[in-house]
Amino acid sequence: MRSRHPKEPLAEARPGCGPLIAPLTDQTRPLRQQVFERVRAAGLIPRVQVAKELGVSPASVTTITQELIEAGLVEEVQVPREGDQGRGRPAVSLGVRAGAYLVAGMKLSDREHTAVIVDFAGNLIADDVISRSPGPMTLPDLLTAMETLLGRVCAKAGVPPSALAAMGLGVPGFVDCQQGMVMWSSVLIERGVALAQAATARLGLTVHVDNDANLVTLAELWFGAGRQLADFAVVTIEHGVGMGCVINHRIYRGAKGLGMELGHTKVQLDGALCRCGQRGCLEAYVADYALAREATTALNSVHREGQPVNILLESLYDHAKAGNPAARSIFRRAGRYLAVGLSNVVNLFDPSLIILSGDRMRYDYLYAAETLAEMEHLAISTGRPKPPVEIHAWGDLLWAHGAAALALSEVTERLLSPAREIAAQ
CATH code, 191 = 3.30.420.40
Residue 20 maps to a domain: no
The string of pLDDT tens digits covering residues 143-157 is: 999 999 999 999 999
Q: Give yes or no: residues 284 and 175 share one domain.
A: no
- Domain count within the chain: 2
What is the per-residue pLDDT for 287?
A: 86
Determine what percent of the chain is predicted with pLDDT higher than 90: 46
pLDDT of amino acid 392: 81
**pLDDT at res. 395:** 66
In a domain, 174, yes or no: yes
170 shares its domain with 310: no
Residue 7: its pLDDT value, please?
56
Query: Domain for residue 280, yes or no?
Result: yes
- pLDDT computed for residue 82 by the predictor: 65
Residue 231 lies in a domain: yes
Contacts of 307 (CB under 8 A, 6+ apart): none
Residues 186 and 251 in one domain: no
Instruction: Identify whether residues 178 and 250 lie together within a single domain.
Output: no
Q: Domain for residue 365, yes or no?
A: yes
190, 149: one domain: yes
Q: What is the pLDDT of residue 182?
A: 95
What's residue 367's pLDDT?
Answer: 67
Per residue in 21-75, pLDDT tens? Answer: 555 444 467 889 889 988 998 888 899 999 998 899 999 999 999 999 999 999 9
Range of the domain at 121: 101-205+398-424
Do 335 and 402 fall within a single domain?
no
Checking if the pLDDT of 202 tops 50, the result is: yes
The DSSP line for 260-291 is: --GGGSBSSTT-SBPTTS-BSBTHHHHSHHHH
400 by DSSP, 3-state: which? Answer: helix
Q: Quote the CA–CA distance of 235 and 189 in Å, as a whole number.
A: 25
| pLDDT value for 396 | 64
- Domain identity same for 180 and 239: no
pLDDT digits (tens, 9 = 90+) for 261-314: 999 999 988 898 888 889 999 999 988 888 888 887 766 655 554 567 777 888
**pLDDT 10s digits, 353-393:** 999 887 666 667 666 788 888 898 999 888 888 899 988 86
Closest CA to 251 of 218, 226, 227, 225: 218
Q: Which residues contact 335 (CB under 8 A, 6 or more apart)?
A: 365, 366, 367, 368, 370, 371, 374
Strand arrangement of the beta sheet that strand 207-211 belongs to: 124-131, 112-119, 102-108, 166-171, 207-211
Give a yes or no: residue 8 inside a domain: no
> Do residues 287 and 178 both lie within one domain?
no
The enclosing H or E element of 326 equals helix 325-349
> Is 409 among the domain residues?
yes
CA angle at 305 for the pair 301 and 306, rounded to the nearest 5° = 120
- pLDDT tens digits along 75-116: 998 877 665 555 556 688 899 999 999 999 999 988 889 999
Q: Specify the range with the lowest mean pLDDT, choosing from 174-188, 244-258, 340-354.
A: 244-258
231 and 168 within one domain:
no
Phi, psi (deg, nearest 5) at residue 403: -65, -40
**Does residue 313 sit in the same domain as residue 376?**
yes
- pLDDT of 15 reads 62
Residue 88: Cβ within 10 Å count: 9
Say if residue 309 is in the same domain as residue 363: yes
- pTM score: 0.83
Instruction: Give the residue from 407, 415, 261 showing the smallest Cα distance to 341.
Output: 261
The mean predicted confidence, pLDDT, of the chain is 85
> Per the domain annotation, does 54 fall within a domain?
no
Looking at the fold, whether 198 and 244 belong to one and the same domain comes out as no
In single-letter form, the type of residue at position 144 comes to T
Which residues, 6 or more positions from 425, have their beta carbon under 8 angstroms from its beta carbon?
none
Distances (CA, A) of 35 to 26, 58, 250, 288: 18, 11, 17, 44
Strands (E), 65-218: 74-79, 91-96, 102-108, 112-119, 124-131, 166-171, 174-176, 181-184, 207-211
